Amino acid sequence: MLHFPPIPTWEAMHPLIVHFPIALLLLSPLFILIGAALSPSRGQPYRIAGLIILLLGTASLFVAAWTGEAAGELAERGGPVDAVLAAHESLASQTRILFLVLTVILLGMTLLPKALRRQETRLSSTFMPLAFLVLYSVGALFLVNTAHAGGRLVHEFGIHSMVPEESAPAAEDASAAGERDH
């Protein structure tokens, strides 16, 4: 019989959460680019979708960082792992700041013309979003490097989501229960 998997602890959520900001933040520029390629009126829904995806991606980036900090406290340390973990944490911090700034910039680019009751022009609907995407590429580069450092921790050094010791018996009980069901 199918069962819902157990809900992981906060420390063990990092591998589940971390893929959301990566996917969302790499998807957002596609919508902005489509919006910039179309006429101002036809492109606006795509640019707004890009902004919403960027907002969700930036918010999930903060959740991923919080779960990563909790998971990092349980990770086994030593040797080259320390250097890669420190690089991953530093890159994650810089990436959060960059995407927070990028989100504020795109929010301003989207809301300011409406607040000033200005008609959209090619400058505001095409050239400014394209210039924004040049800035965005710096954030994407930081995001990819952060993900690469995290991937090295997992695939090169075998660091995985650690289960706190007080939760370990519950996991063993669940494993034993699964064996009885077979």
Question: What's the rounded mean pLDDT across residues 61-90?
Answer: 89
- The model's confidence at residue 168, banded by pLDDT at 50, 70 and 90, is very low
Query: Model confidence over 143-154: pLDDT tens digits?
Result: 999 999 999 999
Would you state the pLDDT for residue 118? 81
Q: Bigger pLDDT: 7 or 88?
A: 88
Question: What's the rounded mean pLDDT across residues 106-119?
Answer: 87
Q: Is the pLDDT of residue 19 over 90?
A: yes
Give the C-alpha separation, 21 to 15, whole Å: 12
